[in-house]
A and B are shown apart, each in its own frame.
Chain A
C-alpha cells in the first residue's frame, strides 16, 4: 500500500521533475555574474550587435563559403561511411544474428562491449589523437567522426534488431531459407524506417561534429569561426555563422520533410522537392571538394608511430596529475550542464506557452545549436573569469538548443485533449500546460535526458579544452607537451567514466520508460 502511494506521488511529480534540474542555473549564474567585468560586457554587446551587420566583403564571404564547403564535405563523407559501417556492424553485433548463425549470442555481447569503447570517446578526442598519427591530412576529421559514429549507428541497429518481433524470421527459417537471406528478408523492412529517421539525425550530428573539429584546427568553417572570434572580428565571425546557420536550418528542415515523407505523413510537395534539391546540392559540393583535394586526401596516408606507453611512464603520469580533482571537475561540469540543458526548455515553455513565444524560443534554440560550445566558452571567458561555470554554461546552452527542439516537436505532435480538458475546468494556462501537455511527455523527456547527460559527459572534453576545466583541459595540455603516457591515461579514465555513465543512463532510462513504452519510441530512436 505504502509502495503504491509512493509510486502515484512519483507519477504526479514527473512534469515538475523535468524542471527541477534547472536549479543548476542558480549556482552557474552566480558564478558567472561574480566574475563578470565591464570590459567584458562591451564585448558581449559588440558580439550581439555584429549579428545584424555581418561583414559583406567579398574576401570574407569567399573564405566562409570555402569553409562551409569543407565542413559539408567532411560531414557527408563521414556520415555516409559511418552509416554503411554502422549498419554492417549493427547486424554483426546483434544477438539475433549470432543466434541465427551459430546458435549462441554471447559473442554479440562481447562485440557490443568492444564497440562501446569506440563510442565512449568523443570525436574531438579521436581527432586530436589522429592528428598525431596522420599529420596534416583532411582525412583526420573524416576518420575522427567515422569511428564513434559507426559504433553509435551499430548500437541502434543491433538494439532495434533484437527488439523486433522475430516470428517472420522463424517462419522463414522453418521453411528452409538460408540464415543470411532469412535474416535480411525478415528484418530489413522493419529496420528501414528506423534507419531513415535515425540516419537523418546522425547527419545533423555529423554537420555539428565537422564544425566542431574545425574549431580545433581541422579545417572548414569551424576554423574560420575560431580565428575570427580569437581576434575579436565579430562581423567576420557572423558572416560565417549566418552561412553555417542557413546550411544547418536547410539540413534540419530537409531531414524533417524526408522523415515525415518516409512515414507516409502527408506533406506539401514543394517541401519534399526542396529537400531533394538541397541533398543533391550538398552532394555536388562534396564531390567538388573531393576532386579539388584528392591529391591531399590520397597522396600519403602513412601512419606515424607515437610512443607506446611504458609502465614507468604510466606510473609517473599517474602520480603527476591530480586525478581526483580532474574527475571531480569533469563530473560537476557534466551535472551542471545537464541541469541547465534539461530544466530550461520545459521551464521556458511553461512560463511562456503562447504560440508566438514558442516560435521565438525555437529561433533562439536554433542559434544555440548553431554555435559550437567551445566558442561560447571562449566568448564568455572574454567577459567573465574562467571557471567551471563558464564551461558548464557553454555546454548547457548548446544542449538547451537540442533538448528544446525535441520537447517542442514532441509536445506539438501530441493530441490536445488532456490539455483542453484541464483548461476547460478552469485551470490556468500554465497549470494546464504543465499537466496537460508536459506531463504526457515528461517520462520520455526524462528518459531522453538521461541519454543526453551521457552525451554531455563525453562533450565536457570539448569545452574543457578551452574552458580550462577537467580532463579535457589536461588532455590538451598533455598533447601539446607530447606527454603520451598522460594522454593514454586520460583517455583510459575518460572511457571508464563514460562507460559508467552509460550504464547509469540505461538504468535510469528503464525507470522512466517502464510505464511509457509507446511514448518512448520517438525518443529512444535518437540514441
Chain B
C-alpha cells in the first residue's frame, strides 16, 4: 500500500513536469487591452468584455482583456509590453508615458478634458458643505480616505487642493489618510462610517447616484474640485509594426467613431459614463505632471 501510494505520487509529479515542457502555441497577434482597476471588478469585466468584442469586430483582430489588480502594476504592465492599449488615469498615464518612450495618447472621454473630484462625508460626522477651497480646513483631525495611492481623481488632485488650503495630510486623524484602493471602496467606507470623509472620481460618484447604490441618509457630497484633465487611452508605440501599417490610426478612429446610434457602442459609452471619445493632446497633462512632481508621485 505504502509503495503503491508513493508510486502514484511520483507518477503524478512526473506528469506535472511534462506539462512544463509543452511548447506554447503561436497564433495571430492578439491586441491586449486593459485599464487601471478604479472600480468594482465585475463592472470592469463587463465593460472591457464588451469593448473587446466591439474593437475585435471593427479592427478584425483578436482582442483580449487583461485584468490588473492595482494601479502601479498597470503602469508596469504597460512598460513591459504586457498590455497594448490601456485606459489610464491622468497620473498613471504620465507615469506610463515616461517609462515607455513613444507611447501614444489615443483618446479621452468628452468629460476628461474638464474632470472633477468630489469630496464626500458621512452624515453623522456633521462635516458642513464646503463653499470655497480654504474651507477644506474643516477636514483637520477627521478620519479621511483617498482611493488608490496612484489615483489622479482619488488622491493626486484632492491632496493637491487639500495642501492648497494649507492642510497637511498628516493633519488627518491617525496622522495619515487611508487608501481605500478604489473609488467604489471609498464610497463604501465613508458610507459605512469607517471614514468620516473621502475624495473620489466625480463620474463614479454620479454613476453610483444613478444606479441607486448611494444611501442618502448616510453620505453626502460636500465639495466639487475645480476642473483638471484626467483619464485617457494610451497605446504602445509599436502597434503598426505588429498589427500592420496604419493600425494605430484605425484603432483611434474606431474609438473616436463610437456613438449612441449603435446599440452595443451606446452600452459601452454608458459604462464609461461618456457620450463619446474625443482626441487628446499631450499638453493637456502637463499640469498633472507638474502636480505629480510636487507631490512626489513623479520623479
Residues of chain A whose beta carbon lies under 8 Å from any beta carbon of chain B: 35, 37-40, 42-43, 80, 131-132, 134-137, 216-217, 223, 226-227, 230-232, 273, 276, 279-280, 283-284, 286-287, 290-291, 294-295, 298-300, 304, 381-383, 385-387, 468, 476-477, 479-483
Identify which of B68, B73, B149, B192 contacts A39 (C-beta below 8 A). Answer: B192
Q: Is the CB of B194 within 8 A of A39?
A: yes
Closest residue to A228 on the B side, CB-wise? B41
Q: Which interface residue of B9, B15, B25, B143 has the most chain A CB atoms within 10 A?
A: B143
Closest residue to B125 on the A side, CB-wise? A39
Q: Is the CB of A37 within 8 A of B80?
A: no
| B286 part of interface (Cβ distance < 8 Å) | no
11 sampled A-B residue pairs with Cβ under 8 A: A135-B81, A136-B83, A217-B70, A230-B182, A231-B188, A280-B12, A294-B20, A294-B22, A304-B81, A385-B174, A481-B298
Closest residue to A483 on the B side, CB-wise? B299
State whether A482 and B95 are in contact (beta carbons under 8 Å apart), knowing that A276-B8, A279-B9, A382-B192 are contacts in the complex. yes
Q: Looking at the assembled complex, report how far the CB atom of A396 sits from the nearest CB atom of chain B, in whole angstroms.
A: 19
CB neighbours of A131 from chain B (8 A): 73, 76
Question: 3 closest A-B pairs (Cβ-Cβ)?
Answer: A39-B193, A135-B80, A217-B69
Identify which of A37, A226, A291, A476 contacts B143 (C-beta below 8 A). Answer: A37
Query: Chain B, 210-234, contact with A by CB distance < 8 Å: what is the 0/1 string?
Result: 0000000000000000000000000
Query: Chain B, 182-213, contact with A by CB distance < 8 Å: what is the 0/1 string?
Result: 10110011001110000000000000000000
| B75 part of interface (Cβ distance < 8 Å) | yes
Q: Looking at the assembled complex, report how far the CB atom of B93 sits from the nearest CB atom of chain A, in whole angstroms.
A: 13
Given contacts A230-B180, A480-B72, 19 further A-B contacts (CB under 8 A): A37-B143, A42-B192, A42-B193, A136-B66, A136-B80, A231-B185, A280-B9, A283-B9, A283-B13, A286-B16, A287-B16, A291-B19, A294-B20, A298-B20, A300-B81, A382-B194, A383-B194, A480-B297, A481-B296
Q: Is the CB of B24 within 8 A of A298?
A: yes
Closest residue to A217 on the B side, CB-wise? B69
| B128 part of interface (Cβ distance < 8 Å) | no
CB neighbours of A386 from chain B (8 A): 174-176, 178
Q: Is the CB of A231 within 8 A of B40?
A: yes
CB neighbours of B77 from chain A (8 A): 135-136
Q: Is the CB of A227 within 8 A of B41?
A: yes
A476 to B24, CA, bound (A): 34
State whether A217 and B68 are in contact (beta carbons under 8 Å apart), knowing that A287-B12, A468-B176, A482-B299 are contacts in the complex. yes
A246 to B173, CA, bound (A): 39
Q: Looking at the assembled complex, report how far the CB atom of A318 sits from the nearest CB atom of chain B, in whole angstroms.
A: 15
| B158 part of interface (Cβ distance < 8 Å) | no
Q: Looking at the assembled complex, report how far the CB atom of B174 sits from the nearest CB atom of chain A, in whole angstroms.
A: 4
| B108 part of interface (Cβ distance < 8 Å) | no
A157 to B75, CA, bound (A): 40
CB neighbours of A287 from chain B (8 A): 12, 15-16, 19
A482 to B72, CA, bound (A): 8
| B150 part of interface (Cβ distance < 8 Å) | yes
CB neighbours of B95 from chain A (8 A): 482
Q: Looking at the assembled complex, report how far the CB atom of B47 sits from the nearest CB atom of chain A, in whole angstroms.
A: 16
Q: Is the CB of B194 within 8 A of A40?
A: yes
State whether A477 and B182 are in contact (beta carbons under 8 Å apart), knowing that A299-B24, A385-B143 are contacts in the complex. no
Q: Is the CB of A280 within 8 A of B189?
A: no
CB neighbours of B154 from chain A (8 A): none
CB neighbours of B40 from chain A (8 A): 231
A276 to B3, CA, bound (A): 12
Query: Chain B, 1-29, contact with A by CB distance < 8 Å: what is the 0/1 string?
Result: 00001001100110110011011110000
Q: Is the CB of B122 within 8 A of A39?
A: yes
Q: Is the CB of A294 within 8 A of B149?
A: no
A283 to B17, CA, bound (A): 11
CB neighbours of B83 from chain A (8 A): 136
Q: Looking at the assembled complex, report how far the CB atom of A29 sits from the nearest CB atom of chain B, in whole angstroms.
A: 16
A392 to B41, CA, bound (A): 30
| B89 part of interface (Cβ distance < 8 Å) | no
Q: Is the CB of B189 within 8 A of A290?
A: no
CB neighbours of A280 from chain B (8 A): 8-9, 12
| B119 part of interface (Cβ distance < 8 Å) | no
Q: Looking at the assembled complex, report how far the CB atom of A241 sits from the nearest CB atom of chain B, in whole angstroms.
A: 18
| B181 part of interface (Cβ distance < 8 Å) | yes
Identify which of B20, B79, B296 contacts A290 (C-beta below 8 A). Answer: B20
A132 to B70, CA, bound (A): 13
A38 to B72, CA, bound (A): 34
Q: Is the CB of A476 within 8 A of B149?
A: yes
Closest residue to A132 on the B side, CB-wise? B76
A134 to B73, CA, bound (A): 11
CB-contacts of B77-109 with A (<8 A): 77, 79-83, 95, 99
CB neighbours of B176 from chain A (8 A): 386, 468
A228 to B124, CA, bound (A): 25
CB neighbours of B122 from chain A (8 A): 39
Q: Is the CB of B193 within 8 A of A284?
A: no
Q: Looking at the assembled complex, report how far the CB atom of B68 sits from the nearest CB atom of chain A, in whole angstroms.
A: 7
CB neighbours of A42 from chain B (8 A): 192-193
Identify which of B12, B15, B79, B193 contacts A304 (C-beta below 8 A). Answer: B79
State whether A482 and B71 are in contact (beta carbons under 8 Å apart), knowing that A385-B174, A387-B175 are contacts in the complex. no
A479 to B174, CA, bound (A): 23
A280 to B80, CA, bound (A): 37
CB-contacts of B25-42 with A (<8 A): 25, 40-41
CB neighbours of A226 from chain B (8 A): 69, 181
CB-contacts of B228-284 with A (<8 A): none
Identify which of B13, B20, B181, B299 contacts A230 (C-beta below 8 A). Answer: B181
CB neighbours of B297 from chain A (8 A): 480-481
Closest residue to B80 on the A side, CB-wise? A135
Q: Looking at the assembled complex, report how far the CB atom of B102 sits from the nearest CB atom of chain A, in whole angstroms.
A: 15
A232 to B13, CA, bound (A): 40
Q: Is the CB of B194 within 8 A of A43?
A: yes
State whether A290 and B19 are in contact (beta carbons under 8 Å apart), knowing that A135-B77, A304-B79, A385-B143 are contacts in the complex. yes
CB neighbours of A223 from chain B (8 A): 69
CB neighbours of A290 from chain B (8 A): 16, 19-20
Q: Looking at the assembled complex, report how far the CB atom of A100 sits from the nearest CB atom of chain B, in whole angstroms.
A: 30
CB neighbours of B82 from chain A (8 A): 135-137
A298 to B23, CA, bound (A): 8
A295 to B23, CA, bound (A): 8
Closest residue to A473 on the B side, CB-wise? B176
Identify which of A136, A232, A279, A476 contacts B192 (C-beta below 8 A). Answer: A232
Q: Looking at the assembled complex, report how far the CB atom of B132 sits from the nearest CB atom of chain A, in whole angstroms.
A: 28
Closest residue to B299 on the A side, CB-wise? A483
Q: Looking at the assembled complex, report how far the CB atom of B293 sits from the nearest CB atom of chain A, in whole angstroms.
A: 10
CB neighbours of B22 from chain A (8 A): 291, 294
CB neighbours of A216 from chain B (8 A): 70
CB neighbours of B184 from chain A (8 A): 231
